């Protein structure tokens, strides 16, 4: 016991030994909550003698679950099964692999990711003879998500035999969604929304299954509880209903997933759902300097929906926090670069000790351009440099095709979006280009009516590039890029893909060209 409690502060120790009943831990940023969680798990196993198979510990990401399992195994021994340290979805998969047969689904059901969902929709669009631009994937997937906000649809999917025929009188979106559900049923595929919904339906229709899982799980603990949705809250409340041992850790001031259903009220009002709750505060911050913490406390105090707490720094004082308000992004970037130069030249600070944070990837462009102009070496972490991103390189390749029609640019974009010019047809073009001393684009123009290229999008691509060449002298580069993206179908292709970040980056490239002009 001493070993498990050593190195913990009094609040962390209290959290570790509070094993029974409903416990809420309000853990501010950098307060060592993961340490408290893992030590508590080990305490339950080693001091109370509980088998890990009887403890459910929910985290929000697979990465966090993996890290927690690694830490726990160091304390309790690697041979024990810690499979119930998992995500909500991971736990639902475990339940369904055991008991989904009660809903007339096989235990070896398929889990569909977003790409699988898109593939099902592609099939449906082809079968219904719809063009992809008639209904974008993103909107349809959004509507499917709304439908699956409530488990009622599960009843339709678990009917034995074939699902009911589609009602052709419904609007087009409804028909597509019905076909999607039918295809899902045919392959016994469940997407992430289905996993929770099928578990709720399973527990609702088979009380003995719910009781089995309630009996099995003596202790439940949930990390990042402020990011729980109503469904997730209902699930843990249901599972804890037999033994009444539910331990939740989180910080309402750090809720980041409200856009996908998270609601901090389950953390803030936890004492109203469970009046007998014990609340513990982890207020000691091990991460930041007093200056940073003081600023954070002052800002957070204005949050209207929170559990009041003030974090206390354990680190010695550091430098003052400076706030600069630039009139626009360019001024911000210039100021940042001037400060970096000041630090590196006047104070001899190594560039590798300086970091720049931004809230969205496309915002790196301003800073990157100033760093390039200032001849300062930099590295992007967790992403690509702005001008190295696929969609940016694709857009610039279209401009180079208009200007030079070089082989590199041609190879990059000839089949994006798909024009049925794959490896074999590219090999044919390369062979002819080599024989005749032509560029790949010139070869394509020469052989566009060849039987090998007749059923491709070659003619449309050539028409677009040739037209863009004729207007290139009369248009600004920004206008030319916009027309190129539309005429070649590239912008439409990216919109159908539904990746908003790529669209933001393309808009940012256009913005940078307009500024340059």
- Residue 27 annotated as binding? yes
Is residue 59 one of the residues assigned to a domain?
Answer: yes
Beta bridge partners of 111: 190
Closest Cα partner for 459 from 474, 448, 471? 448
- The Cα-based distances of 391 to 160, 190, 427, 485, 503 in angstroms read 46, 31, 25, 11, 8
Dig out the tokens for 117 from the structure. Answer: 């969902």
Query: What does residue 132 show for φ and ψ, rounded to 5 degrees?
Result: -60, -30
Taking residues 263-287, what's their average pLDDT? 92
Q: Where does the pLDDT of residue 19 fall: very low under 50, low under 70, confident under 90, or very high at 90 and above?
A: very high
**Tokens standing for 276?**
């007998």
Q: Go through 427-446 and write b for each residue having 16 or more CB atoms within 10 A of its CB, e for each that does not.
A: ebbeebbeeeebebbbbbbe
Last residue of a domain, one of 254, 281, 300: 300
Residue 405, sorted as left (phi over 0), alpha (psi -120 to 50) or beta, turns out to be left
| Neighbouring C-beta atoms of residue 422, cutoff 10 Å | 12
Q: Pick the residue with more confidence: 265 or 161? A: 265
Total domains present in the chain: 4
Same domain, 79 and 143: no
* Residues 6 or more apart in contact with residue 236 via CB below 8 angstroms: 58, 220, 222, 228, 246, 248
Does 393 share its domain with 503? yes
- Kindly give, in sequence order, each residue whose CB lies less than 8 Å from that of residue 110, ignoring residues fewer than 6 positions away: 116, 187, 188, 189, 190
Residue 142: domain span: 113-189
- Please state the φ and ψ torsions of residue 278, each to the nearest 5 degrees: -105, 130
Residue 262 in any domain: the answer is yes
With a pLDDT cut of 70, the percent of the chain lying above it is 96
Q: pLDDT of 454-486, one tens digit each?
A: 889 999 999 999 999 999 999 999 999 999 999
Q: Is 247 among the domain residues?
A: yes
pLDDT per residue over 214-229, tens digit each?
Answer: 999 999 999 999 999 9
Q: Looking at residue 138, what is its pLDDT? A: 77
Q: Which residues pair with 431 in a beta bridge?
A: none
Mean pLDDT across the chain: 89
Q: Does a structural domain hold residue 97?
A: no
- Provide CB contacts within 8 A for 314, sequence distance 6+: 284, 285, 286
The reply to whether 495 and 443 lie within a common domain is: yes
* Residue with token string 């009887």: 54
Which H/E stretch holds residue 358? none
pLDDT confidence tier of residue 279, bands split at 50, 70 and 90: very high
Task: Evaluate whether residue 12 is within a structural domain.
Answer: yes
Q: Rounded mean pLDDT of 18-44?
A: 93
pLDDT of 169: 53
Q: What average pLDDT score do residues 291-316 get?
A: 87
Which CATH number do you get for residue 393? 1.10.486.10
Same domain flag for 393 and 510: yes
CA distances from 313 to 280, 318, 462 (A): 18, 11, 64
On whether both 60 and 11 belong to a single domain, the answer is yes
- Beta-bridged to residue 27, according to DSSP, are 282
Burial 396-414 (b: 16+ CB within 10 A, else e): bbbbebbeebeeebbebbb
Judge contact between 464 and 488, C-beta under 8 A: yes
Q: Is the pLDDT of residue 343 over 90?
A: yes
33 is in an annotated binding site: yes
Indicate whether 106 belongs to any domain.
no
* pTM of the complete model: 0.69
- Concatenated DSSP letters of 424-466: HHHHHHHHHHHHHT--HHHHHHHTTTSTTTTTSSHHHHHHHHH
341 and 398 housed in the same domain: no
For residue 197, tell me if it sits in a domain: no
Query: Can you give the CATH number for the domain in which 359 is found?
Result: 3.40.50.300
Exposure on the CB side of residue 80, measured as CA atoms within 13 A: 23
| Together in a domain, 512 and 393 | yes
Query: Quick one: pLDDT band at residue 163, thresholds 50, 70, 90?
Result: low
Convert 6-38 into a string of H (helix), E (strand) and C (coil).
CCCCHHHHHHHHCCCCEEEEEECCCCCHHHHHH
Same-domain pairing of 73 and 129: no
| Position with higher pLDDT, 331 vs 454 | 331
- Structure confidence at residue 162 (pLDDT): 66
Same domain, 76 and 222: yes
Band the pLDDT of 29: cuts 50, 70, 90. confident
Token pair in block for residue 400: 């180079």
Q: Which of 386, 401, 423 is the last residue of a domain?
A: 386
Over residues 441-464, the mean pLDDT reads 91
Query: Are residues 256 and 279 located together in one domain of the fold?
Result: yes
pLDDT for residue 495: 82
d(CA 182, CA 21): 44
Q: Are 121 and 167 in a shared domain?
A: yes
Residue 488's contacts (CB-CB under 8 Å, 6 or more residues apart) are: 398, 413, 417, 461, 464, 465
d(CA 14, CA 40): 10
Distance between CA 286 and CA 151 in Å, rounded? 43
Q: Which of 189, 206, 232 is the last residue of a domain?
A: 189
One domain, residues 132 and 170: yes
Strands 278-282 and 22-27: parallel
Cα angle 307, 308, 310 (rounded to 5 degrees) comes to 130
Q: What is the pLDDT of residues 102-147, one digit of tens each?
A: 999 999 888 887 778 887 888 888 888 887 654 577 788 889 989 9
- Three-class secondary structure of residue 250 per DSSP: strand
Q: Let me know if residue 40 belongs to a domain.
A: yes
């Amino acid at each position: 016991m001493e070993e498990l409690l050593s190195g913990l502060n009094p609040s962390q120790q209290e959290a570790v030994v509070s094993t029974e009943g409903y416990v809420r831990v309000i853990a501010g940023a950098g307060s060592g909550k993961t340490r408290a969680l893992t030590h508590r798990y080990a305490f339950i196993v080693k001091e109370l003698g509980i088998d890990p198979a009887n403890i459910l510990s929910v985290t929000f990401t697979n990465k966090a679950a993996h890290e927690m399992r690694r830490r726990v195994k160091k304390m309790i021994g690697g041979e024990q099964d810690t499979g119930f340290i998992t995500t909500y979805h991971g736990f639902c998969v475990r339940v369904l692999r055991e008991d989904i047969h009660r809903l007339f689904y096989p235990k070896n059901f398929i889990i569909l990711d977003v790409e699988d969902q898109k593939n099902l929709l592609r099939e449906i669009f082809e079968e219904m003879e719809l063009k992809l631009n008639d209904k974008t994937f993103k909107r349809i997937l959004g509507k499917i998500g709304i439908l699956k906000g409530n488990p009622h649809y599960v009843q339709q999917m678990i009917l034995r035999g074939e699902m009911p025929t589609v009602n052709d009188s419904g609007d087009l979106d409804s028909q597509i969604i019905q076909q999607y559900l039918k295809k899902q049923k045919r392959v016994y595929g469940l997407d992430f929304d289905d996993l929770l919904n099928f578990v709720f339906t399973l527990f609702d229709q088979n009380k003995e299954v719910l009781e089995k899982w309630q009996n099995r799980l003596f202790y439940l603990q949930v990390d990042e509880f402020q990011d729980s949705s109503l469904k997730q809250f209902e699930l843990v409340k249901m599972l804890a209903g037999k033994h009444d041992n539910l331990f939740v850790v989180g910080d309402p001031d750090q809720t980041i997933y409200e856009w996908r259903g998270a609601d901090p009220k389950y953390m803030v009002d936890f004492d109203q759902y469970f009046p007998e709750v014990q609340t513990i505060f982890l207020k000691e911050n091990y991460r930041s300097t007093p200056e940073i913490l003081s600023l954070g406390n002052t800002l957070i105090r204005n949050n209207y929906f929170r559990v009041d707490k003030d974090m206390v720094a354990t680190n010695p004082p550091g430098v003052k926090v400076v706030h600069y308000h630039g009139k626009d992004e360019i001024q911000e970037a210039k100021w940042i670069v001037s400060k970096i130069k000041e630090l590196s030249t006047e104070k001899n600070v190594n560039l590798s000790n300086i970091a720049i944070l931004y809230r969205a990837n496309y915002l790196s462009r301003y800073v990157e351009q100033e760093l390039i102009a200032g001849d300062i070496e930099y590295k992007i972490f967790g992403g690509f440099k702005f001008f190295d991103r696929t969609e940016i390189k694709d857009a610039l390749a279209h401009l180079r095709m208009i200007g030079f029609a070089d082989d590199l640019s041609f190879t990059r974009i000839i089949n994006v979006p798909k024009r049925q010019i794959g490896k074999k047809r590219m090999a044919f073009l390369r062979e002819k280009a080599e024989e005749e001393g032509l560029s790949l684009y010139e070869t394509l123009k020469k052989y566009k009516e060849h039987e090998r290229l007749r059923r491709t999008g070659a003619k449309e691509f050539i028409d677009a590039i040739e037209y863009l060449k004729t207007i290139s002298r009369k248009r600004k580069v920004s206008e030319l890029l916009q027309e190129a993206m539309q005429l070649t179908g590239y912008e439409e292709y990216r919109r159908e893909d539904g990746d908003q970040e790529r669209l933001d980056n393309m808009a940012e490239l256009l913005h940078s060209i307009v500024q340059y002009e």
